Structures are given as structure tokens and as C-alpha cells.
Structure 1
Amino acid sequence: MSQHTRRTFLTTTGTVLGGIAVGSTVTAATRTERFIVRTRERRTPSAVEVVHEMPGVDVAVVRGSESAVAESAAVEAYAPDVEVDVDLPAPSDAAPTVEETSVGDEPGYGLQWDKQDLDVADAHRVTEGEGSRVTVIDTGVAAGHPDLTVNEELSRNFTGDGFGAATPAGGYHGTHVAGIVGASDDGGGVIGTAPATELVDCRVFSPASSASFGDILAAVVYSAAIGADAANLSLGAYPVPRRGFGSFYGKVLNSVMTYANSRGTLLVAAAGNDGADLQHDGNVVSLPNEGAQGFSVAATGPIGFGWDAADESPPQSPAFYTNYGTNAVDLAAPGGDAHLGAIGSGVPYYLDLVFNTIAEPIYETDEDGDVTGIDDVEYTYSWLAGTSMAAPQVAGAVALLRSEYPDLNANQVASRLRRVAEVPDGYDKSYYGAGYLNVVDAL
């Protein structure tokens, strides 16, 4: 099936396919009790509850009546907080078959085509990311997973839902992302790009699978405050109009991202799974990856890894769902692909997705179906695909670079990654930006 045919299928369905996140939506003005405000001279608004202060930027998230916000002398401009709803894929229900021996010490390394193609084993001869720090702004990172080491003291829950931090309360997605960044080199499962980096959970999703834009902004500022070398944002909203509220959200995001970048935190963001040409998509924008100083990552993946496909393609080929655009994307990295015609046919198509850590919460619910707690968590491994899986490949590479070259600032790290990247022969540059992630040459 050609890339064009698969992309046409994507844009007409907007659904979830076997471990692949397809499509995302943004619902504006639904948080009528919460507002994002631009403050005057970093003053604190009165007569409202301040949910998130953001030291260093003239932005805050408040709760209260719109009239109280509008009448506050400390408020220069405001807009309702936004809820971002994403179509999260279910982990593949295929049973992992872990090879007993592999090139690396991890028993699951044989299933990690992404790490093999990036040659992380060679990169780890230089550094495994010691002394670096990466925040994962996502559904939550499970500190209890045996293949992850999470700084629980620094981890934060930005949702206010009471379910804590360093836990997958918002779902399995963040744990998978964290494993791609930094699954431990302990011989017990899989390997991350930077297995010695310090992982910090910044949870912005609740069990309802939605995130407030204001919580995401606060998590970015916090990432900079704790000196994170990279903040991974495998989330997003598209399309967001450039006018009206969209203009306000874009300006606020730009100020927050510029601040974080100036503090040395590179913001690595998923380009999105809408199959959209971000460079020629009219008067709309994809957030946060098209925000100022955002490092946008498109996804690639193989067809036919470990199974016989009639139209095999290499790991560097563009994934059917990825957003693209020469000047809208900085790099491409392994995110997984799928032969849509193979899904449901009995062949192991899922081997072309990205294999890594999973933590699935078992929720306690009341008679109305609302989540009241987490009864247990199941820790395992599974396959997912999306630009969500491509971004943490780059965040891990940032951790390796900052470990080896701690004096580089965020812009210098980004420049180095772009400089060594190349567009694979025979492929369209619009899917790669500067090119395909090259971890070894970057080091």
C-alpha cells in the first residue's frame, strides 16, 4: 500500500488502529471556571484562586469567575483554559516474544528495531546520559516499573486530581514514552536511548484522558526551573486557529517556551499524527510543536521488521500518519509504522511499532463510572506507534549530548542534532526537516 493511499485512509477515518494514535482534537472554552492570564509586570491576580504561578514569565492559571478575572488590575489579557483530548491507542494485545539472546544485554533488545537502527549500543560506549535530566510531560510515568528509575521527589502532578505523581494515573502512554527516553541498562527488559538519565514525571493527564493547556504550560516552566536538559512533549492539539483565542494561546505558549529554552531546556515535541502538511495548512497551527523554540519531531518506521511484507520499507521511511513540512519539522526519528492491510490478517504487523515499557492502571470507579482511585498497576512491555514515540528518541539524544557536553546550551544542542542529520536518499525532505536522527555522529 503506497504512502499516499495510507495517508488518504488516515485523513478520512480519524480513528485508532492497533497501537497507533490517529488524530487529535482541541476543545476550546470548555474550562469556564479556569483561565490562562497574561499578567502585568508579573503581578499576582487577586479575587481569584491562582492554580499555577509561573515564575519567570508573565503567565498564570487562575480559577474564578470571568468577571473577577476581567476586572483584575493585574491581568493584561486572558482566555479560557483549553482541554486537549487525544485519541490514545490501546497497547497491542500481542504477547511479547522476548529473545533470549540479543546484541545488547537486554532480553527485549531484539524487538527494538528503533534502538538498533540508531545504534545506541555504540553511543553508549561514549555515555549513557549520566548527569542529565529529562522531564516527561504526559499521562504519568510509573516509578514502579522495574525498567525505569524515576526521581519521585522532583516529580509533580499538575492536574490537581489527587492521584499523585510518578504514577500512570492518566494511562500507560507516559510510561512508554519514558522508557524510550531512558529505560535502564539493567539486563532485565528493554533499553532507552539514555538509560542513565534522570527521569522526572510531570503528569498533565487525568484518567479522563484530557489535559488542560494551562497545566502543560506550568509543567514546561517547572521543567526549566529544575534544570531539565530536555522536556518531552508527546502531546498536542491540531488544528488550532491562528486568530481569536488561538492567537492568545500561541503568544502565551511562545513566551513560556522561549523562557524554558533560555534556561537551557530543549522542548522536544511530537509533530502530530494527522498526516497534515504543517507548512501549507492554511491559517491554523499545531501546538505545542509549532511554538517558539519547539523542537518538532516527525515519525518514521519500517514495514516488514521480523515478518514477510510484500512492500518492505526501512526504518527511516516516513510513517503513514506523521505530520510533516520542511520548515515545520526539525528532525525525523523512529516512531513506528504499520501496513494497514496487514492489521487483522494474522501476521505480526505490530513488530513495526515501537516496543517499550508499559504500565496500565486498574482504576477504582463509583456507580457513575467516575474514577475514584487506582486499585493496582500492571507493569509490562508492548508496542505503540506515533510521533509520541519519535519525540522521546530525540529527548534521549539530548540527554546523551548534555551528559557528554554539559556546557552546550539548548540552541547549541539543537543545532548539533540538525547539523549531523541527513535526509535518506530517495525520500522527500518535507518529512525530515534537517534529516533523520543520528545519535552517534551527534556525540
Structure 2
Amino acid sequence: MRKILLAFATLLLPTAGVCQQKIENGVRAELNTAPLVRVLIVTRPDPEQTNGGASFASASSYISDALSDSAKNVRPIGSLPVAAAEISAAALPRLREDPNVVLVTRDIPMPPTLMDSVPFIGGDKMHGLGYSGTNETVAVLDTGAQVDHPALAGAIVGEACFSTDHSNVYNVKSLCPGGFDVGTVAGSAGQCPTDVVGCDHGTHVAGIIAGHNMKFAAKNFGGVAPAAKLLLIQVYSLFDDPAVCKAAGKCIRSFTSDQLRALEYVLKHRAEFSVATVNMSLGSGYFDAACDKSSALTEIIERLRSKGIPTVVSAGNEHFFDGVAEPACISSAVSVAATKKDGSLDVSYSNVASMVHIAAPGTDIVSSVPGSAYATMKGTSMAAPHVAAALALLRQEFPGESVSQLESRLTSGAPITVDVRTGTKLPRLELVHQAAANSSSTGSSPATSSSSMESTPTPDTAPSSPASGTFILKTARPTADIEWALDNNCGNLKCDLKPIGEDTFKLDVTPKPSVAPQDKAKIMTIDTSTVKGLLKDIPSVAVFDNRLSSPFTK
């Protein structure tokens, strides 16, 4: 089997005639209306550049020196070649020209992607064969959990917290003990306030994976891998910010930078905790193609995969029929859509796309919640831990196999579920078929495809070059109405409209190729205000920045 190259390693290779796009267009768009924007800056060694060769020991120190007063709150991401920062527009030309910088992308605050499912997927058959997750650990990057919940008794082998403690862009505070931005002691994963919506999320996810001796409605049940251990990692921060939380007041969101720090912690401590797999039931944005080259999470997910640890990610709950959220768009992650208990895709909320790896139960799932209680939830957040736990069962049975081989055991010969809207077919999680045919399956998984890593990088866009933007439109107006408004108002702009779900559209806006170069150069920013102007002739259209707006609600 051909070995997959790390995405960031691919970025560093010279490519004739083109250069990797360094600065995400959304960074420039945000700086058009705000003094600072939170970013992740991926660095690389350059042996011919001062302090850029083998001695390039600290990305954050280098970036802090290079950007000086144009950056605030510069901090390291563990020992990864990445720094988090809040930058002003003055930093852009420095970053663009610096040979030690390979990618600048926004640090996105992502939300969570909100009993008898275990027999449905054949988990009880695996338990009967002696595979219940013994000596295997699932790292759960989530809101933490009620660590003394009876359903999780004896399962928790470690706790950690990575949470943003201050920002010049958002009104935010850390959920780690003492208000610090990191914690690795007992109690680190138990600080999410129970009165804030979403803080029950991690306890529910943990119970799906490794809950045991659970009882609800006079029925006894357990998780998919009831003997597995849990490494609980709290990756959320508490926001008191109307721009993020809207009418909710306070809310929780997880910065990409905190996810990066958590994943690096898993990588460093994988042997100590016997980590078999990682679960991430969170996400943001819309992607209809792999985002390997634009996501700052790609490298660490591939590093974990190379060590035999798959990262399982929920596809998202925006009921898109041909796209997923980030980080599910990373091809080396295991993306999961949600089904009802009859095996059909629940298209009332689940994102579905041909790039999704597998579907699993996500609707009406009973599991543990804070207060030593149990409750029903639904979402791709509930589907992902079914798959993460299933992979832990397979890791127990096949300790020497690669991630691709384990994935193949789940997908090869699996029952198929079909999106009735589009005909998209996905394998459905069901362990019975693999329990009967384990010994012969060694094929590769769809997740091993490296097509996105072999694609030609897009050219870098300098500040004097025309901008572009991708937006989500939410409206009950007919498609023809939107097309009419765009035809009338786009002018020198190329406006590509694409239906992606019920009352939901993706709009890509770029200057037309036929526009004179001097006119293109005048188009410095395309943002939500620009798009609202294009749609001024029709009311009741909500416009959202793609990556920053999930869920896409007012």
C-alpha cells in the first residue's frame, strides 16, 4: 500500500510554477472590518534564512519577533511548528513574504455537533466474542464529562484541558481549573458549567463509547466498548460574546488552536494511556472537497494515523447533501454521518457526502448526562463515538494492523445506506459482518486516498490581488429569485450559486476572468457585506461567512 505523505510535508515541497496559497482569503476579509483576527500560523524551516534552519526551535518566538507590534497573544501549540496569534492588517505583508511561513488560516471557534444502538450495530456480538475494548483507550476531545458518573466508573484513565484564557478579539475565558489555559490534573475535564447549553455533550459522548451498568426506562445497557478506558480532554472555552453566541448569551466553542494542543497531547502520551482512537464530535463550515491543504489540523491527524491512531470526526448537522464540516473534511480523518435506528440516513439534520467514510446511529441515542442521569440526544456527535468505540474493539482484536486495515474491516462488505435525495451510498456501521469475516479482510480504506495531497496548490493572493469568498445563504425564497438578483447585481463578479441543502445555498464570489487587471485590483475584499449588497433586491436572505458560521443560524 502506498504510504500517505503528511499534508504539511507536501506543502513544503517545491512545486514548479506555483506557490501554496499562504493566507486564507477570510483573514483579509475579516481585517477589512475588524482591527484584529485570530489566526494559526504554520511555519517551516528554511536553511538559508536567518533563524530558519535546524535552530528553528520555537514557532511562537519566531512569529512574535517577526511580527512585532502587529501581533498580540502569540502562543505556541505545544512543540508543533504552529503558532496562534491575533494579528492586524500590518502583519499580512510580513507573513506573505516570510519564507518561514507556509500557511495562515483563521483560528475557528467551533461548536459541538449535537441505549439500544449497540445491539443494532452488532456490538453485543463483538462483546460475546470477547472484544469489549479491554486495555484500549479512546481520547475524547469534547466538553469534558461528569467524572464521577456511575456509568463511567473506573473508565477514566486521564484528564486534560486546553482552553483559551484571554483574547483581544473575543470575550472569552478558560474552562480549565484556575482559569489557566491548560490543565492535566484530576478534575481538568470537569469544569464546563452545567447551566451552559452544550456542557452535557461530553458526558453523553463518553457514555456511548465506554458507559457500563447503565439503566434507563427499566432497561440495562452499555456503551459500544464498555471495557475501554477514556482519556477525557476538555477543548472548549466559555464565550460571553453576542457575535458568537447570538441570543443565547453565554455559549461554549472550541478554538482550532486548542484542538491542536489537545491532539499533540494525545500524540505525546499515546503509549502512556494506550490510546486506540480519538473522537471529535465538533465542527464548522461547509466543504464539498477535501480540505487537507487548508486545515491546520491535517498534519497532527496524519501524525496520529501514522502511529496507528485514527481520528473519528462527526460530519456535521446542517443537513447538507454534498458536504461536511471541518475537520471532517480532512481525508485522513474518519468522517461519520448519522442514521436512524432503522439504518436509514437521518437527512433531517445529518450532513451527507460521498467523501464521508461511514454512517452510524445518531438519532434518539440514550447515554449518560451530568447529574448521574441519562437522556436521549441526536446528532452526528452521537454517531462518531459509535465508530470510535468500534475501532477500539477492532484494535483489541487486531493490535498490529494499520488504521487503513481497521477501517476496511468496518467498511468492506458492510450494509449500505442511501441518501434518498441524491442517491449517495455510504457503508453503515455494523460489526456483525466483520465479526464473521475478520480474518480475510486486509484491503485499504477510502480514507487512504491521497488525491487531495497530489492536487496542484492554488496561487498565493497578495493584498493587491483581487479577493474571493465563499458564503452560505439561508432562505426560503426560490432558487430563481436568488439567481435573478445575482444576475442583476454581480457585474464584474463571477457568482456561482449551488444548492447544498434545504433552503441552503453555497455562493462562491470571485472577479470574472474577463475583467481588466486594473479593475480586478480594485476588488480588495469580498465579505458578507458585499454579498448582502448583491442580494439587496430580495429580502429574507441570511448571509454567513462559510467557515465561521456553524450552525448557520441568526
The alignment partner of 1:147 has SS state of helix
C-alpha separation in 1, matches of 2:413 and 2:202: 28
C-alpha separation in 1, matches of 2:419 and 2:325: 27
Report whether the alignment pairs 1:231 with 2:272.
no
The alignment partner of 2:372 has SS state of strand
Task: Go from structure 1 to structure 2 and tell me whether the alpha carbon gap of 1:248 and 1:62 turns closer, same or farther (over 3 Å shift).
Answer: farther
Report whether the alignment pairs 1:407 with 2:407.
no
Q: Deviations over 1:186-220 (max 9, x none)?
A: 78964110011110111111343111111112222
Quote the offset at 1:137 in angstroms. Answer: 1.0
2:225 is aligned to 194
1:329 is aligned to 356
C-alpha separation in 2, matches of 1:179 and 1:201: 12
After the TM superposition, which residues 285-434 of structure 1 pair with which residues of structure 2 at under 5 Å, given as runs? 286-302=325-341, 314-326=342-354, 328-336=355-363, 353-359=364-370, 378-424=371-417, 432-433=425-426
Report whether the alignment pairs 1:256 with 2:283.
no
Choose from 201, 207, 215 the match for 1:179. Answer: 207
1:271 is aligned to 315
- Amino acid of the residue matched to residue 190 of structure 2? T
Residues 380-389 or 224-233, more deviating = 224-233
Task: Go from structure 1 to structure 2 and tell me whether the alpha carbon gap of 1:238 and 1:80 turns closer, same or farther (over 3 Å shift).
Answer: closer
Residues 183-192 or 288-297, more deviating = 183-192
1:440 is aligned to 432
After the TM superposition, which residues 120-139 of structure 1 pair with which residues of structure 2 at under 5 Å, given as runs? 120-125=123-128, 126-139=130-143
Q: Which runs of 5+ in 2 are unaligned?
A: 1-25, 46-55, 65-71, 165-173, 178-187, 194-198, 239-250, 436-554
Quote the offset at 1:259 in angstroms. Answer: 1.5
Task: Go from structure 1 to structure 2 and tell me whether the alpha carbon gap of 1:181 and 1:76 turns closer, same or farther (over 3 Å shift).
Answer: same
Greater relative contact order: 1 or 2 (C-alpha under 8 angstroms, separation 6 or more)? Answer: 1
After the TM superposition, which residues 161-176 of structure 1 pair with which residues of structure 2 at under 5 Å, given as runs? 161-164=174-177, 165-167=188-190, 169=192, 171-176=199-204
Q: Looking at CA atoms only, which structure, 1 or 2, has the larger radius of gyration?
A: 2
Task: Go from structure 1 to structure 2 and tell me whether the alpha carbon gap of 1:238 and 1:136 turns closer, same or farther (over 3 Å shift).
Answer: same
Contact in 2 for aligned 1:51/1:63 (Cα 8 Å): no
1:60 is aligned to 83
Q: Deviations over 1:397-443 (max 9, x none)?
A: 0110111111112222112111141215997895552x111223334
Q: Which runs of 5+ in 1 are unaligned?
A: 1-25, 89-111, 280-284, 303-313, 337-352, 360-377
Q: Deviations over 1:257-306 (max 9, x none)?
A: 21221121101111111111225xxxxx621111130111111114xxxx
Structure 1 vs Structure 2: percent identity of aligned residues? Answer: 27
Contact in 1 for aligned 2:151/2:212 (Cα 8 Å): yes
Report whether the alignment pairs 1:83 with 2:113.
no
Report whether the alignment pairs 1:212 with 2:255.
yes
Q: How many residues matched?
A: 339
Q: Deviations over 1:210-245 (max 9, x none)?
A: 111111122223223322211111111122698xxx
Question: Please, what TM-score do these two structures have when normalized by structure 2?
Answer: 0.55
Quote the offset at 1:130 in angstroms. Answer: 0.6
C-alpha separation in 1, matches of 2:345 and 2:322: 19
Contact in 2 for aligned 1:135/1:200 (Cα 8 Å): yes
C-alpha separation in 2, matches of 1:31 and 1:85: 24
- Give the alignment's Cα RMSD to 1 decimal: 3.4
Contact in 2 for aligned 1:130/1:197 (Cα 8 Å): yes
The alignment partner of 1:329 has SS state of coil
The alignment partner of 1:407 has SS state of coil
